[in-house]
Amino acid sequence: MAEGFPDVDQSKPSIARVYDYLLGGKDNYAVDRAIGDTFTHDLPGSVAIAHANRQNLIRAVREIALAGIEQFVDMGSGLPTADNVHKVAQHHAPGARVIYVDSDPIVLAHGRALLEDNGHTRVIQADVRDPQSIREHPDITSLIDFDRPVAVIHSAVLHHINDDEGPHSIVRYWQEQVPSGSYFFISHFRSGGNPETAEAEALLQATFGRGRWRTDEEIRDLFGDLEILEPGIVPSSLWRPDTAEQLSRIGPAEHELTVWERLIVGGLARKP
């Protein structure tokens, strides 16, 4: 259980801490667990979204590292959990440098404690809706060389940005900051046109004042002019799966996924 953070308002839930709770973490408060329990009790099966997204992220980071990219900026990274971006990236590319970005002060505190002995990885507290402040942050400028390819990760974060807050402009900003050969990973809640989608979206809006399920076309538009790599933008469980059981679901067998697994999609793209 999260303790020792006097500056944190424990009466308000945090997206990062609710996500941590759904993934089985302990860095959360009663208010976060109450929201998490609403998902698990009132929307049974919805926790599959969090787990499918986490596994998708792990596979995407591995593919990016194997492609030779050694610089990662993880936007809205959330609390440290198993198989963090830096662990996966540095396993395949030992010299990889990673910046975690999140607005939650607990993420900053836990991240700094976790990364105290890792000189190639840092965490900064910032709002992903203010990309220029992130780009100019001294930890970014000292660790990331923007003259070389960078992997920019928006894992399950853009759906927490409402339309009037400019999610497209955020991605476009980073496209303009990185050179050709850079990679972008985006995962996002996908509209299912069903009661589950509507209920989950309403819950997020009521709790956080944000949370936007988008259509396939709207999610595709977030990538702008980037070159989307195979297999395209697909349910996270189907994005380059590892196991034989997962492989059996690819293509027309998508109907075998649960309704919740179909509500989170991921895609990897490269800047030409």
Q: What is the pLDDT of residue 44?
A: 66
Higher pLDDT, 50 or 173: 173
- Each residue's pLDDT tens digit, 236-250: 999 999 865 455 544
Q: How far apart are CA 204 and CA 202, in angstroms?
A: 6
Q: Give the phi and the psi of residue 152 in degrees, each rounded to 5.
A: -105, 120
Q: What is the pLDDT of residue 13?
A: 74
- Within 10 Å of residue 203's Cβ, how many Cβ atoms? 17
3-class secondary-structure state, position 153: strand
Q: What is the pLDDT of residue 257?
A: 84
Does the pLDDT of residue 2 top 60, yes or no?
no
Average pLDDT over residues 184-193: 91
Q: How far apart are CA 22 and CA 71, in angstroms?
A: 28
Does residue 168 contact residue 131 with C-beta atoms inside 8 Å?
no
Tokens found for residue 173:
């900003």
CATH number corresponding to 15-270 = 3.40.50.150
Does the pLDDT of residue 120 top 70, yes or no?
yes
Does the pLDDT of residue 132 top 60, yes or no?
yes
- Please spell the DSSP secondary structure of 198-229, one letter per residue: HHHHHHHHHHHS----B-HHHHHHHTTT-EEP
Query: Within 13 Å and on the Cβ side, how many CA atoms surround 66?
Result: 7
Report the residue count for the chain. 272
Q: How far apart are CA 201 and CA 265, in angstroms?
A: 16
- Extended beta strands in 46-159, E state: 71-75, 97-102, 121-125, 151-155
Average pLDDT over residues 197-214: 76
Q: What is the pLDDT of residue 32?
A: 79
Does the pLDDT of residue 252 top 50, yes or no?
no
Token pair 């590892």 in the structure block, residue: 242
Q: Bridge partners of 97?
A: 71
Q: What is the pLDDT of residue 37?
A: 81
- Within 10 Å of residue 127's Cβ, how many Cβ atoms? 13
Q: What is the pLDDT of residue 258?
A: 81
Does the pLDDT of residue 85 top 90, yes or no?
yes
- Within 10 Å of residue 83's Cβ, how many Cβ atoms? 14
